[in-house]
Amino acid sequence: MLPGLTARWQQIGNARLRHTGHTSLYARQMPLDPSFVGRSYPPTPAYLVGREKIREFAKAIGATDAAYHDPDAARALGYADVIAPPTFPTVVSFASNNAVVDDPDLAIDYSRVVHGDQRFQYTRPIVAGDELVGRQTIEEIISRGGHDFITTRTDITDSTGASVAIAWSKLVVRGEG
């Protein structure tokens, strides 16, 4: 049994595999190379966090706390502008993670990828006006039961270089068959 994945997900993965087949240029037979652990990627271009983007994100998840919408409410908590809900760093880490997923040397077949785990560790909330940069590192590669598990870490920093949050994503790359 694939840890953390239910039989239903495995069925889905198999069906996805049948559909997409070997269309990837990088379809491979071998497990992901664990020597890629520690590899890091160039920082993403700075992402300027807009007040309306935070409001849009908060609205999309139904988060009504005034600090997400009203700059005065956020200022009352000691922030310069509206703050973002806890999973907002995904806007930066999702884009940053493409560096790994698209790395031709690593050769992940994205048609086999399922999002396994996600973690965020926060130094402070993201605030409108932040200019955020993501730096991507491969932290772990495990092959087990014919599947690969790759954990990537995104260090998200502001324009002063100070840490804002760290995001970890574990992707499951399903094996053949």
Partner 1 sequence: MELPTKKYPVTRADLVRYAGASGDFNPIHWNERFATKVGLPGVIAHGMLTMALVGRAVTEWAGAPDAVLDFSVRFSRPVPVPDDESGTEIEVSAQVKSTTDEGHTVLAITAVCGGEKVLSQARATVRTSRLGK
- The residue ranges that bind partner 1 (CB under 8 A) are 4-6, 8-9, 11-12, 14-16, 18-20, 53, 56-57, 59-63, 65, 67-68, 77, 79, 83, 85-87, 90-91, 94-95, 114-122, 124-125, 168
Closer CB to partner 1, 118 or 159, in the complex: 118
Closer CB to partner 1, 42 or 115, in the complex: 115
Closer CB to partner 1, 48 or 61, in the complex: 61
Residue with tokens 């071998």: 30
Closer CB to partner 1, 12 or 37, in the complex: 12
Residue with tokens 């069925």: 11
Q: How far is the CB of 5 from partner 1 (least distance, A)?
A: 7
Q: How far is the CB of 35 from partner 1 (least distance, A)?
A: 26
Which residue type, as a one-letter code, is found at position 57?
F
Closer CB to partner 1, 21 or 146, in the complex: 21
Mode of pairing for the β-strands spanning 163-173 and 113-122: antiparallel
CB atoms within 10 A of CB 116: 19
Of 169, 136, 146, 150, the closest CA to residue 107 belongs to: 150
Measured CA to CA, the distance from residue 168 to residue 136 in angstroms comes to: 10
The sign of the dihedral angle between the CA atoms of 19, 22, 26, 31 is positive
Q: How far is the CB of 79 from partner 1 (least distance, A)?
A: 8
Measured CA to CA, the distance from residue 105 to residue 14 in angstroms comes to: 25
Q: How far is the CB of 99 from partner 1 (least distance, A)?
A: 15
Measured CA to CA, the distance from residue 33 to residue 133 in angstroms comes to: 27
Q: How far is the CB of 121 from partner 1 (least distance, A)?
A: 5
